[in-house]
Homo-oligomer: A and B are copies of this chain.
Amino acid sequence: MAPTSTSRIRLLHETLRRYLKMNAGDHLDKVIAKTRDEDLAVVLSQMLPRFQQQLFERLPTSERKAGVIVEMQAPFGKEMLEPLPPEDAAAILREMATDDAADIIADLSEDQAQRVLDILDDAEQVEELMTYGEDTAGGIMLPDFVALVANNTAEEALRALRRSADVEMIYYIYVVDDAGSLVGVLSLRKLVAAPPESLVKDLMDSDVISVRTDADQEDVATMVARYGFVAVPVVDDTNKLIGIVTVDDVIDVLQDEATEDILKMAGAGTELGETDGVWSNLRVRAPWLMASSVGGLIAAGVMGTFKETIEAHYYLALFVPIILGLSGNVGTQSATVTVRALAVGQLVHGEKNWRVVRRELAIGIVLGLFFGVLIGGIGWAFAQSFFYGMTIGLSLAAGMIVSNVVGTAIPLVLSRLNIDPAVATGPLVTTSVDILGILTYFSIATLLGAFLPPSGAGG
């Protein structure tokens, strides 16, 4: 079967929408039967709420309903399960991995959550999972895993494995001692290849990396990505094995963290979906715009102090947008590169940081000189005034050099102070660069005005 490409998803979407509009139940059932939960979820997320509801209700089994909910973004699970009778909701939750069920129950209203937990058999395990912080290893771990006892033989271990029908996918087999403490890891392949009488503890690799339940999910994800693991064991503070974090959850965490960085850089929140409603959108975005307003008012105030210069040479105002635009772009470019290099671990700490800042200074100087001469030259020709050309060229060069260094240095400093550097490229920094740029521009104009008598179109 070929992978489900964008064009196939579009076709699926159009087919389902047509059948939903026609209320063609039989046709819908046929399409649903031959479509994977993951693909249905992609299409569902594009649909209007009433179609989502209709399609969800047509899913033939609790298992498929569970499968689709797990693939959807919150709050889909809550929306579908909240209005159901608790028995039906529990039947669906029972089909999910315990960590997914815990996340969705945590989203439900307190009443519905309690009613559902009263019915579920593994309520205790679910409730325990709900106690871990959402962004910790405990919050994303799976409490179902395969563990062998170190003193068993390979044959006993294989027999135990055959019995553990509950566990869908075996990534690694962890080995525990009699107290349940993690002591090693073993691949199923090595176990299969071993002589039946050999002991698990002699086959296992005792250099096993684990994480604590309270480890930050981002650190866990970075580690799994770095070491190329497909799972990592989670232990409590007595080193007792209590779950595993699997690579598919790690991918979700990495994607979410990239999303968070991207959105933060624009001052647009930290999560997609967070801004789905008009009001939540305003709540997330307005503070940054407010910061930008304050910066803009300060810039206006700074410009106001140069009233005489502006009134004398109105042409200067025409080049304000280009000076702010170029300085802002240069600063955003270097800040973006630095923030991302920090996020993927290419820039951590050490002597290299100062080299990076020095290099950006060199780049800023080259860019500043080039664009200073270019735009200054155009300004000179445009206004027929050497004074304008000099003012524009010098301020642009100064603005670009400063922006480039500031854009690089701020994320490095923030990272050193353990503050998320992604905020550094947001509206706050763009605005600071604006204020600095205007101050430089009109100061140079005022200064040069005293030495170089202005002339030309604006004089």
Chain A 316-357 near chain B by CB (<8 Å), digits 1 or 0: 011111111110111011111101110011111111100100
* Interface presence of A134 (CB below 8 A): no
Counting CB contacts under 8 A, is A259 at the interface? yes
Would B209 and A1 count as touching, CB distance under 8 A?
yes
Q: Nearest CB to that of A341 among chain B residues?
A: B272
Nearest chain B CB to A99's CB is how many angstroms away?
13
Chain B residue, CB-CB nearest to A435 = B321
Interface of A, helix, strand, loop or mixed by DSSP: helix
The reply to whether A266 and B336 contact each other, CB–CB distance below 8 Å, is: yes
Partner of A296 from B38, B188, B321, B430 at Cβ < 8 Å? B321
Q: Which of A78-86, A87-95, A222-230, A443-451 contacts B (4 or more CB under 8 A)?
A: A222-230
Interface residue? A123 (CB, 8 A): no
Q: How far is the CB of A98 from chain B (nearest CB, A)?
A: 16
- Determine if A273 is an interface residue (Cβ-Cβ < 8 Å): yes
Q: Give the contacting residue for A5; candidates B219, B334, B431; CB below 8 A.
A: B219
Residue of B nearest to A334 (CB): B268
**A379 nearest CB across to chain B (Å):** 8
Give the residues in chain B near A375, CB-CB below 8 Å. Answer: 293, 296-297
- Residue A64 at the B interface, CB < 8 A? no
List of 6 A-B pairs having minimum Cβ-Cβ separation, nearest first: A296-B322, A266-B336, A228-B248, A258-B258, A317-B317, A300-B318
Q: For the complex, what is the distance from the CA of A346 to the CA of B73, rounded to whole Å?
A: 9
Residue A33 is within 8 A (CB to CB) of chain B in the complex = no
Q: List 10 A-B contacts (CB under 8 A).
A: A6-B349, A46-B349, A73-B346, A266-B329, A268-B336, A299-B321, A300-B382, A304-B315, A314-B317, A325-B434
